[in-house]
Chains A and B, each alone.
Chain A
Amino acid sequence: MSDMALDVGALSKRFTLHLRGGVSFPVLEDAALVLRPGECVALTGPSGAGKSTLMRCIAGNYGADSGHIRLRHRGAMVDLVTADARLMREIRAESLGHVSQFLRVIPRVPALEVVAEPLRLRGVPRAEAEAQAAALLARLNLPERLHGLPPATFSGGEQQRVNIARGFVAHYPLMLLDEPTASLDPANREVVIALIAEAKARGAAILGIFHDSEVRARVADRLHEVRPLEDAA
């Protein structure tokens, strides 16, 4: 199985809402998915089916109840379902990139620093990290006057470009993209499509959720349908 970038199997995830009288519902049951280096797989399925939940489980942002999520980290396949917080942090710094649907802004931290942070975590010197961050923001047409400002007051599209730059600035072998083009104009959409193509060309595996069917058709090598559980049953 040495040619796998991601191997998800028997994955289950349910939510229990203790403040709603303990109501509990499954979202993923026995989910399985494999990604190989250099390919892009698009998750499809109706809204609420569990696409983001699956992606967040892989990102470590949600905890899976059972099953496995193996990815390549430091030359070995490592299971995220049982990884502790410290290992998860190391994996996020080195092996797993995630562009979430919305930028989680760090108050008062300028866009340039937000984008440079993944490189800084890898020990890249500040000047070099910020130069790469600035180049990528420029490529995504974010005006230079915004680079020094915190993204909290940016428009949705501007925040999304900061988020995308943060995800692509460091090169991860596996990337998760949750609707990366949702609020972008056509020119910036093209930039994102090019960034995805470049990442694939260097061997990165990409798992994405793309609402825009044209984008999906251009970047995805394969589709993977996430079905709502009542339909699947």
Chain B
Amino acid sequence: MSPILEGQNLALRFVAVRALDDVSLALWPGEVVAIVGESGSGKSTLLRVLAGLAAPQAGRVLYHDADGAAQDVHALREAERRTLMRRDWGFVHQNARDGLRMGVSAGGNIGERLMAAGGRHYGNIRTAAAEWMARVEMDPARMDEAPRNFSGGMQQRLQIARCLVTRPRLVFMDEPTGGLDVSVQARLLDLIRSLVAELGLAVLFVTHDIAAARLLAHRIVVMRHGRIVEEGLADRVLDDPQHPYTQLLVASVLAA
């Protein structure tokens, strides 16, 4: 078996900061990996580079597709990369507005993605949209309403449904529960946990919430100043942290 996604020696420098400084990371099929670290440590940049949304200045990203072929994500033609993102991948943004089309109905947001991946039959698409709304615990009777009619937590559920309806193999999530009320966050995490386990997805997600990382992740990657300072089995990184920065992260949670 080979990893589903591999980032090799990735570097990306903005004017004043090294957002990624020689970062390598492999994700295996069915594996859930959390990227943690303080704000500005390069988590989102790493996720965006791995997901093909931002180009690295050095290094490469390899995706191993379902047929076992390795694709150099940043060397693909734009059209090929977009096909890959629609068919094999999903990306859940922190702000639902970045992942949803606000001018399209809730059901349309789900159906549109299905059509983009090749779905044709209108009736089937509506049925699938309704099913997925129910699956993320939204009321399918509201499928013709615009996303803005829904609360932040519900919009996030809609974004997740839009992302999963095409049955991607690999899902990226950037702070999927960030900016939501604590009780809403908790229920969203439950939903993500059960969907990910049920579908056997490979997931790479960014969070600064250590409890969320413990709850969801098999493995944790700790970033600081654009570098991975520690990574390993989730419970080991949290219960026996080695790097001073990881010890600080874990201690601040216990104290909170």
Contact = CB atoms under 8 A, between A and B. Distances in A.
Interface string A79-104: 00000011011000000000000000
Contact of B28 (A17, A86, A120): A86
Interface in B209-244: 215, 218-219, 231-233, 235-236, 239-240, 242-244
B95 to A, nearest CB: 25
Given A18-B247, A107-B186, A63 B28 contact: no
Given A62-B239, A108-B186, A108-B190, A19 B247 contact: yes
Interface in B175-196: 186, 190
A17 B243 CA distance: 10
B215 A60 contact: no
Contacts of B28: 86
Contact of B236 (A18, A61, A107): A61
Given A89-B218, A89-B233, A107-B215, A61 B240 contact: yes
Interface string A51-67: 00000100011110000
Nearest to A57: B240
Contacts of B242: 16, 63
B214 to A, nearest CB: 8
A201 B109 CA distance: 57
B248 interface: yes
Contacts of A17: 247
Interface residues of B, number: 21
Given A18-B247, A107-B215, A60 B233 contact: yes
B215 A85 contact: no
Contact of A61 (B235, B243, B244, B247): B235
B31 A86 contact: yes
Main secondary structure of the interface of A (DSSP, over half): mixed
B215 A106 contact: yes
B35 to A, nearest CB: 14
B251 interface: yes
Interface residues of A, number: 18
A61 B235 CA distance: 6
A85 B244 contact: no
Nearest to B244: A18
Interface string A104-128: 0011110000000000100000000
Nearest to A64: B240
A19 B28 CA distance: 33
A19 B248 contact: yes
A85 B239 contact: no
Contacts of B243: 18
Contacts of A19: 244, 247-248, 251
A63 B251 CA distance: 18
Nearest to A16: B242
Nearest to B218: A89
A62 B236 contact: yes
A107 B251 CA distance: 21
Interface string A1-41: 00000000000000011110000000000000000000000
Given A61-B239, A85-B232, 10 more contacts: A16-B242, A18-B243, A61-B235, A63-B232, A63-B240, A85-B218, A86-B31, A108-B186, A109-B190, A120-B197
Interface of B: 28, 31, 186, 190, 197, 215, 218-219, 231-233, 235-236, 239-240, 242-244, 247-248, 251
28 contacts: A17-B247, A18-B244, A18-B248, A19-B247, A19-B248, A19-B251, A56-B239, A56-B240, A60-B233, A60-B236, A61-B235, A61-B236, A61-B240, A62-B236, A62-B239, A62-B240, A63-B240, A63-B242, A85-B218, A85-B232, A85-B233, A86-B28, A86-B219, A88-B233, A89-B218, A107-B186, A107-B215, A120-B197
Interface of A: 16-19, 56, 60-63, 85-86, 88-89, 106-109, 120
- Top-4 shortest CB links A-B: A18-B244, A62-B240, A85-B233, A85-B219
